Amino acid sequence: MSRDPIGFAMATMSRIAGSTLVERMGLRETIEKITYQSTKTGFQALGAASRQFKSVTQLLKPARLDAPAQPKLQFDLSLSEEQQMMRDSVRRFAEDVLRPAAAKANDDCAMSHDILSQIAELGLAYYAVPENLGGAGTERSPVTSMLIAEDLAWGDMGLAVAILSSMGVANALTQWGTAAQQSKYLPAFLDENTLQATIAINEKRPLFDPLNLQTTALQQGNGYVLQGEKSSVPLVESAELFLVAATLNGKPRIFIVESGSEGVTVKKENAMGVRAAALGSIHLQQVKVDKDALLGDDEFDYTAFINYARLGWCALAVGAAKAVLEYTINYANERIAFGEPISHRQAVAFMIANIGIELDSMQVMTQRAVALAEQGKPFAREAYLARVLCADKAMEIGTNGVQLLGGHGFTKEHPVERWYRDLRAVAIMEGGLHL
């Protein structure tokens, strides 16, 4: 992200918040709240200004976001000042907004309009859209997207999926879309009534492989005809735009499908986990789209597209697993049994320590793959390893979180049962996100 007046102001506030004087005077929480609210106001003002000057000119060539001028080394895990400010703001949003709303969103299987409006105020979508289309994006940073996904999932994984689904479509259009596709769809993500969109990859069959699709696309006249069914699609009822994976001439590709297209039928299905994302299925019955609906050109890399989505789920797993670790530590220290905290029991302490160890391994593997992606280097192997590890350890961490709370872990009185169900999705979900 480029440094602007808002960035300088927030950097100053962050330095004040970190001073020892503020700590001694007991003003840290007040300063942090001012910083968070100022960030929201800054993003909102940026959005309003962008909407006033939003261009309606047809692009002559695709607008791409470049990688950071000095990309991080593969194992440099330090954050830039801008990334840290972004992370502080998103973490505060997750704590103040997402956590209190998580239980109701899980029960309702939907994200409330109030949260949707607050997400628009936060202005994250502006960094996915290039400046010449009215956004604030100046560089494309999968690392920053990973950090946002982690912190949102720490607040609630289901709501994080709902929020990131639309951002994922904007990221994909910015990275892969043609000039015509970007001109038509990207400005809508900046409207006051933000465009809801999602990515549809999954299909209802055992051992689903995203590289072997049963949904088909046949070239017909000056367009294509899509036929098939997709499952576990986030925001299935509210999304106005779908990125649908289908086989074209023996190869998997992505097609842009508007929800109002003839032959598109959606059905909401209450899922076991990530319920706030409002998952459901899409039935495509002889859906006709024009030639401009094929995402990208002949250079489009479907495998990389899938790997970006998988790394997004890895980042979500890391964030939710952090929530489990923090909660179980506090519970074990406060829960008294036989006259002492259960954390004094060796079996409990070892189980919590193992959660911390596995969480660190998940985070490092994910960061390694995302760092390579940001540098434009091959990252398929690292993405695969991160996905395998996170799918396995996320389920283990969720299970151990419930186990550590004993009977309490099996009730809705504590959030670990919800986190357990959410983390189960990491191993089976494909698409829906795009870093």
Cβ neighbours of residue 301 closer than 8 Å, sequence gap 6 or more: none
Query: What is the percentage of the chain residues whose pLDDT exceeds 70?
Result: 83
**Is it the case that residue 272 has pLDDT exceeding 80?**
yes
Determine the average pLDDT of the residues in 161-171: 94
The burial of 172, by beta-carbon neighbours within 10 Å (0-12 exposed, 13-18 middle, 19 or more buried), is given as: buried
Cα 387 to Cα 381: distance, rounded to the nearest angstrom: 10
**Region of poorest pLDDT, from 10-14, 215-219, 305-309:** 10-14
The closest of 385, 315, 261, 309 to 146, measured between CA atoms, is: 315
What is the architecture, at CATH level 2, of domain 302-427? Up-down Bundle (1.20)
pLDDT range class, residue 30, cuts 50, 70, 90: low
Determine which of 187-191, 216-220, 263-267, 331-335 has the lowest per-residue pLDDT on average: 187-191
The values of phi and psi at residue 289, to 5°, are: -130, 155
pLDDT at position 252:
96
| Three-state SS letters, the chain | CCCCHHHHHHHHHHHHHCCHHHHHHCCHHHHHHHHHHHHHHHHHHHHHHHHHCCCCCCCCCCCCCECCCCCCCCCCCCCCHHHHHHHHHHHHHHHHHHHHHHHHHHHHCCCCHHHHHHHHHHCHHHHCCEHHHCCCECECCHHHHHHHHHHHHHHCHHHHHHHHHHHHHHHHHHHHCCHHHHHHHHHHHHCCCCCCEEEECCCCCCCCCCCCCCCEEEEECCEEEEEEEEEEECCCCCCCEEEEEEEECCEEEEEEEECCCCCEEEEECCCCCCHHHCCEEEEEEEEEEEHHHECCCCCCCHHHHHHHHHHHHHHHHHHHHHHHHHHHHHHHHHCEECCEEHHHCHHHHHHHHHHHHHHHHHHHHHHHHHHHHHCCCCCHHHHHHHHHHHHHHHHHHHHHHHHHCHHHHHCCCCCHHHHHHHHHHHHCCCCCCCC
User: Residue 45: which pLDDT band, with cuts at 50, 70 and 90?
Assistant: very low
Domain boundaries, the chain: 5-166+173-193, 198-293, 302-427
Phi and psi torsions of 216, nearest 5°:
-120, 155
Phi-psi region of 250 (alpha: psi -120 to 50; beta: other; left: phi over 0): left
pLDDT of 67 over the 80 cut: no
Question: For the segment 274-289, what is each residue's pLDDT rounded down to a tens digit?
Answer: 999 999 999 999 999 9
pLDDT at residue number 26: 53
Count, residues in the chain? 435
Which tokens go with 227?
């036929």
What is the arithmetic mean of pLDDT over 89-103? 96
Under CATH, what is the fold of the domain 5-166+173-193?
Butyryl-Coa Dehydrogenase, subunit A; domain 1 (1.10.540)
- Residues ≥6 apart with Cβ < 8 Å to 298: none
Count Cβ atoms below 10 Å from residue 110 Cβ, excluding itself: 21
Supply the Cα-derived Rg of the chain in whole angstroms: 22
* pLDDT exceeds 90 at position 130: no
What per-residue confidence (pLDDT) applies to 29?
Answer: 56
The 8 Å CB, 24+ separation contacts for 13-21 are 13/38, 14/81, 14/84, 14/85, 14/88
Q: Is the pLDDT of residue 258 over 80?
A: yes
> pLDDT class for 42, splitting at 50, 70, 90?
very low
Q: What is the pLDDT of residue 83?
A: 87
pLDDT over 60 at 1, yes or no: no
Task: Average the pLDDT over each of 47-56, 237-246, 316-325, 420-429 and give the range with the smallest value.
Answer: 47-56
Q: Note the pTM of the prediction, 2 decimals.
A: 0.85
What CATH architecture applies to the domain 198-293? Beta Barrel (2.40)
Summarize the confidence of residues 157-163 as an average pLDDT.
97
At residue 264, does pLDDT exceed 50? Answer: yes
Q: What percent of the chain has pLDDT over 90?
A: 68
Q: Is the pLDDT assigned to residue 56 strictly greater than 60?
A: no
Range name among 21-35, 98-112, 131-145 with the lowest pLDDT average: 21-35
Q: Is the pLDDT at 257 greater than 60, yes or no?
A: yes
- Residue 340: per-residue pLDDT: 95
Residues 6+ apart with CB under 8 A from 16: 22, 31
